[in-house]
Amino acid sequence: LTKFHGIIPAFYACYDEQGNMSEPRTAALADYLYQRGVQGVYVGGSSGECIYHSVEERKQALAYAARALKGKMTLIAHVGAPSTRDSIELARHAAELGYDALSAIPPIYFKLPDSAVVGYWTAIMAATELPFIIYNIPQTTGYTLTPAVFRQLLANPKVIGVKNSSMPALDIERFKSAGGDRVVVFNGPDEQFVAGRIMGAAAGIGGTYAAMPELYLQADRLVREGRFEEAGKLQSKINDVIVALCSLDGSMYAAIKEVLRRRGVNIGGVRAPLEDVSPADAGRIDGIAAAIDAL
């Protein structure tokens, strides 16, 4: 479990000018994160726009990131898809690529009973030898993982943790309490990374980390050193940036990609139906990028 700690940015979809998956641009984002010293990456999740990709494209995204980062940091593959079949295909692909762990949201669209969701996760786990991280994100999937279902899943030794993106920091504490030393809880909401770490998360996986990895690494260090007041103040500055990123007309990921462009990493735009930021917001993006550099 020691592989799973610290700052694990959710990796973004890296497109060429035509909007196709780009290996060189993936390598550029990978290198930028590696240079900053993050502990791992979470590839093909929400922030990776996986929901808008074909299975083939998702395999490309997983392969390009692995080729760039294998052996350099912890690699987690998100393989959740609407069908069990596609998820298993992605899981096997990730295992062949040498990923360190798999993770998956619950199956989306139909509202399924716990038994179907548990069956889905169990089938993915059975497909490879890799450890598995449950992904709880009720605000987008409509499915809420309860501590009782989590405990049931813990009967499977492959379950090593949960990435919890629900807002209550209490949920992080409850999952940690249910799993104890045999689980890692990953903080999901970036806006309360510090709270999540203090309440039981040993690591964070976040959609805004790659926009400002140095700030999250610093927050993580402050928590490890018990400097909670300073950590809280830094969190507040991080939150000002997140609020600014979310205040533009386009999607937050479009805004982040513009910030990254200003930090020297061009990974293209976002895939529709996600919306681009309008050219009129260029000045505001400059301001956000400058604010990050100044922190």
Enumerate the active-site residues.
Answer: 135, 163
Whole-Å CA distances, 252 to 60, 121, 170, 235, 275: 23, 29, 26, 18, 9
Q: Report the nearest approach of ligand HMN to the CB of residue 196 (Å).
A: 10
Q: Does 77 bind ligand HMN (CB under 6 A)?
A: no
SS3 content of the chain, % helix, strand, coil (to 5): 50, 15, 35
Figure out which of the listed residues 6, 131, 189, 196 binds ligand HMN, where binding follows CB under 6 A.
189
Figure out which of the listed residues 84, 208, 251, 266 binds ligand HMN, where binding follows CB under 6 A.
208
Nearer to ligand HMN, 115 or 236 (CB): 236
For the window 4-43, what string marks contact with ligand HMN as x by the rule CB under 6 A?
Answer: ------x-------------------------------x-
Figure out which of the listed residues 46, 74, 84, 251 binds ligand HMN, where binding follows CB under 6 A.
46
Q: Does 200 bind ligand HMN (CB under 6 A)?
A: no
Nearer to ligand HMN, 225 or 249 (CB): 249
Q: Report the nearest approach of ligand HMN to the CB of residue 140 (Å).
A: 6
Note whether 130 and 91 are within 8 A (CB): yes
Q: Does 267 bind ligand HMN (CB under 6 A)?
A: no
Other C-beta atoms lying within 10 Å of the C-beta of residue 188: 27
Token pair 């018990």: residue: 226
Residues 102 to 141: which contact ligand HMN by CB under 6 A? 137, 139-140
Nearer to ligand HMN, 189 or 200 (CB): 189
Q: Does 188 bind ligand HMN (CB under 6 A)?
A: yes
Stretch of 203-211, 213-221, 262-270, 275-283 lying at the interface with ligand HMN (CB under 6 A):
203-211
Instruction: Please work out, in degrees rounded to the nearest 5, the angle formed at the alpha carbon of residue 281 by the alpha carbons of 276 and 285.
Output: 95
Residues 213 to 252: which contact ligand HMN by CB under 6 A? 242
Residue 107's nearest CA partner among 115, 117, 92, 97 is 117
Burial of 54 (C-beta count, 10 Å sphere; 0-12/13-18/19+): exposed
Residue 256's nearest CA partner among 212, 293, 295 is 212
Helix/strand/coil for 107: coil
Starting from the edge strand earliest in sequence, which strands make up the sheet with 184-187, in order?
6-9, 201-206, 184-187, 159-164, 132-136, 101-104, 74-78, 40-43
* Binding residues for ligand HMN (CB under 6 A): 10, 42, 45-48, 137, 139-140, 165, 188-191, 205-208, 242
